[in-house]
Amino acid sequence: MDSVTKRIADKLARTRESMGLTLQQLANLADVAPSTIQKIEAGTMMPSIAVMMKIARGLHRKIGFFLDEEDGSAEVTLVRKRDRTAADGTDESFSVQSLTGDLVDPEMDGFMLTLPPGATSGEEMLHHRGDELVFCVRGKATFTIGGKEYALGPGDSLHFKSDQPHSWKNPGRSKAELILICSLPALSEKSILKSATAAHNLQTGQAHK
């Protein structure tokens, strides 16, 4: 197991357990299969970026949470280019570098995607609440949002409500680099635990009447 896979496995298991969530409960919140979460925690599966995004949002965390060495605690962070933490998809379709640090209760997430020719976000459409801002640094990218396609070239940007089903791909013959900024709910650990408890009570029929 490489260091990045182990870090993700350990953080996922530790965070899920601290929130009192079972595999099934987190799977419901993240909209992924329980077996997927189990394999990630066991270190036998390196999740794709799309799956990492789903699980992070299910835990009310930014995707960089799984790559950061520390949990969010700072009020100001500086991330040097040489210090960016990166993860690669198991199918080598793309890689992601976190642009954000361990800020306390972040309200947005930022990362750089590197997409080789033909790379896509996967067969499943993505959707999550909030806004998403995309800036194309180099190459080409096509976003499909609500059934409509938007072509991006160097210097182009795209801003949209990300609760609309969306996906992306690199239709070009060269590598593409995108900067993605996504809004996140600003939740404290107390709020996260409260949300997890409410979800647990709802699923087990123990909600107070």
pLDDT digits (tens, 9 = 90+) for 178-201: 999 988 754 333 333 333 334 344
Instruction: For residues 112 and 168, give the distance between their C-alpha atoms in angstroms, rounded to a whole number.
Output: 14
Instruction: For residues 115 and 78, give the distance between their C-alpha atoms in angstroms, rounded to a whole number.
Output: 25
What letter would DSSP give residue 76? Answer: S
At 106 the pLDDT is: 73
User: Measured at the alpha carbon of residue 47, what is the angle toward residues 46 and 52, in degrees to the nearest 5?
Assistant: 140
| Sequence-ordered strand ranges (E) for the chain | 86-88, 95-98, 108-115, 131-138, 141-145, 148-152, 157-161, 166-169, 176-183
Low-confidence ranges of the chain (pLDDT < 50): 89-93, 186-204, 206-209
Is the CB of residue 64 less than 8 Å from the CB of residue 53?
no
- Total-model pTM: 0.65
At 192 the pLDDT is: 35
Is the CB of residue 120 less than 8 Å from the CB of residue 93?
yes
Instruction: For residues 51 and 59, give the distance between their C-alpha atoms in angstroms, rounded to a whole number.
Output: 12
At 132 the pLDDT is: 92
Instruction: For residues 182 and 132, give the distance between their C-alpha atoms in angstroms, rounded to a whole number.
Output: 4
Pairing of the two strands 148-152 and 131-138: unpaired
Side chain identity, residue 79: V
Tokens 């965390």 -> residue: 61
